[in-house]
Amino acid sequence: MDAEKSIKVAALAIDDVDQQQFRDLAQRIAGLRDACGYTPESFAERLGVDVEVYRAYEQTGFDVPASLLLHIANVCHVDMAELLTGTTTKLNTYQVVRAGKGKIVDRFPGYHFRDLAYNYASKIMQPLLVTLDPSEEPAELVTHAGQEFNYVTQGTIVLVFADREVELQAGDSVYFDPSIPHGQRCGSESPATFVTVIAE
């Protein structure tokens, strides 16, 4: 098998793994919703999501915002890591996550999330390391309950907040009300990284 064909086969295998992870997530969301006694309609209303958008999440598991996954976990009184991985969290005193480690959670094209507290039980906030690929696409705006903190560790992040854009360089941070439509995009030519902490 030549090198080009090997790369294509490997890419297809990775794509199959990704698709299975999305399907598994969709099944966990639907199963958790059902176990908590909600219909799809009542759960979508409880989450503040359009019912057709929510149904798509249950069918595909694709493009579910991290903030919505946290909201689902909180409503159903489970840990977000349990929802993402299907395994129960075990730690309730402390968890060390070494550099480059953490549970990888990819939710959107161009966004790469790494859960920095994936094995800690009963979290009241969700810390994630987010890497954004350079892109000309506008940031997708989302809303969710609670409060959010972003700290830029590398590159430039553009926080789109309602009708304004705030450029943040490495070392800058922002704390904001996430019930206002917001999103982040990479403002540099190479990938940019920031830590976000979401608390509901």
pLDDT in tens, 101-157: 888 876 666 788 899 988 888 888 999 999 999 987 888 888 888 999 999 999 999
Q: Is residue 38 part of a domain?
A: yes
One domain for residues 110 and 48: no
State the alpha helices, DSSP H only, in 65-175.
Answer: 66-75, 80-85
One domain for residues 95 and 60: no
The domain tally of the chain equals 2
Indicate the pLDDT class of residue 91, thresholds 50, 70 and 90.
low
Q: Is residue 106 part of a domain?
A: yes
One domain for residues 116 and 60: no
* pTM strictly above 0.75: no
One domain for residues 97 and 44: no
What is the chain's alpha carbon radius of gyration, rounded to the nearest angstrom? 17
End-to-end CA gap in the chain: 52
pLDDT tens string 11-65: 333 355 567 888 888 888 988 888 888 999 999 999 999 999 999 999 988 888 8
Q: How far apart are CA 147 and CA 25, in angstroms?
A: 25
- Compute φ and ψ for 175, nearest 5 degrees: -120, 130
Length of the chain: 200
**In this structure, are residues 124 and 159 in contact, taking their beta carbons and an 8 Å threshold?**
no
pLDDT surpasses 60 at 76 = yes
Q: Is residue 86 part of a domain?
A: no
